[in-house]
A and B are shown apart, each in its own frame.
Chain A
């Protein structure tokens, strides 16, 4: 453009740097808090530089748990979070790639109906039907189980739509060629469709992993035992102690640990994540 470049670039850099500052500052504070002892954190004058209790805090958070709260150690919650996030991602990919395959590559009665039955689920997030869903899970005796954490959250159409969209862009000649080669539906799926879908699968995995990891209300409701809670719900309990001061340094260490896996996934899989996100939403 015609504007003077150096000045324009300087303004852009200044604004973006400010943006990064806003985005990073809360996390920086949490990181700092997780390196100090309890007294330094709660006295309201916490320094902005790291302290010397890092290893102790993280060790206690991960393996011991807060002494005043007798909660589960974070290590266990991390495992629960990993299992449910991976379960949600894999489960969703599994059911939706199969149903998209059926809807796109077969002609059968009720095909449109089946598609709409799935499609409508986009409209109601689990939060609005929370108690009835809770009751179903309780009746099926799935409270405090991984199945209860995972299955209700994969009952939505986002994955199916994404795969359907992608399958529509695959040239028909590929199917015709495999048919001429004598391939049935299974061979076509395994040898042609799956290899072509690898990036779509990876993108959906990234999005769903983050979605599953970050769940809050659902795990809060259906886990009654501390041993089943995920890290995102567990952290709240560290802060709501009835009689004594919350151990903020442990809570902040937990916050850092709870952020690490999904943030790492977004940063390292950025390209896939952006692609999956933009395609699922539109």
Chain B
């Protein structure tokens, strides 16, 4: 929709846009283009000279077994977090959607983890499951389970997944609840009269009508797991043990800061950019078309 009534002024619109455009160019386009440039260059150890090396950084990157490991870790981590947080949130949302007297109170109590910083969520979970002082680690040991997320890679992954899911449930819950509340009651009542039980109604009516929400959430969740979980991973495991929880984003940070390999780090950034742009493009394609599955 375009407005037909507008102001005529030559200079003013540019002045109004200026603050945002300046900030966007300085802090977005300039660094983003530098990242791309840097990924084709190699700097000496002191950062004094740099030479153009073409795709060498990318070749070096894809020759690293650690990079494939980071990709795999990212895939496992995002799949687990997205599936678990979506299904748990959907379960809570379907319950909160029933006409309960206390539903608003439940809603309030379920959405606040959205406001907890990922790093703080990580700190809470490492405290609960810390091998020597964790309140929940003790029962695990009593049961004969040798729980140690500081040494065992699978345990570390379990812990960051739990923290990330805990943090993300509230967000998914909100969107699912909004989606559920937009489904017309009359459709559900009609099928109930036709004798469809609650489960059947859920799978044949509710779930298909929720699919645009689910799809949207899936994309948003994957992007969340990619980027926002940095704080969780850094606070809980620092990418360890032995790289077991080093995701692609964490590796960009670790290689650039600790390894000092700016070209390699930039190449990784560019790979990530391509992935995120692809994901966003997919999302817009579907959201724009407003596909009803």
Contact = CB atoms under 8 A, between A and B. Distances in A.
A23 B100 contact: no
A217 B269 CA distance: 15
8 contacts: A13-B100, A95-B19, A99-B21, A129-B32, A160-B20, A184-B7, A213-B117, A266-B111
B117 to A, nearest CB: 4
Contacts of B34: 129, 132, 135-136
Interface string A240-282: 0000000010011001001100110111001000100110011
A179 B96 CA distance: 48
A55 interface: no
A111 B231 contact: no
5 closest Cβ pairs, A-B complex: A132-B31, A216-B231, A214-B117, A262-B115, A102-B16
B116 interface: yes
A223 interface: no
Contacts of A98: 16-17, 19-20
Interface string B168-199: 01100011001000000000110011000110
A16 interface: yes
Nearest to A97: B16
Interface string B29-42: 11110110010000
Contact of A131 (B125, B133, B231, B265): B265
Contacts of A168: 1, 3
B261 to A, nearest CB: 10
Contacts of B9: 106, 185
B38 A107 contact: no
A85 B118 CA distance: 16
Contacts of A217: 230-231, 234, 253
B23 A95 contact: yes
Nearest to A107: B6
Interface residues of B, number: 100
Contacts of B128: 25-26, 29
Contact of B235 (A160, A236, A270): A236
B135 interface: yes
Contact of A179 (B5, B38, B226, B262): B5
Given A102-B17, A104-B3, A236-B119, 19 more contacts: A16-B92, A33-B127, A95-B20, A98-B16, A114-B17, A117-B24, A129-B269, A131-B262, A131-B269, A133-B27, A135-B31, A214-B116, A214-B231, A216-B234, A232-B119, A235-B119, A235-B123, A251-B123, A265-B115
B115 A23 contact: no
B256 to A, nearest CB: 5
Of residues B120, B188, B226, B269, which shows the largest number of chain A Cβ atoms within 10 Å of its Cβ?
Answer: B120
A129 B111 CA distance: 31
A123 B28 CA distance: 11
Interface stretch (B52-60, B71-79, B272-280): B272-280
B170 to A, nearest CB: 7
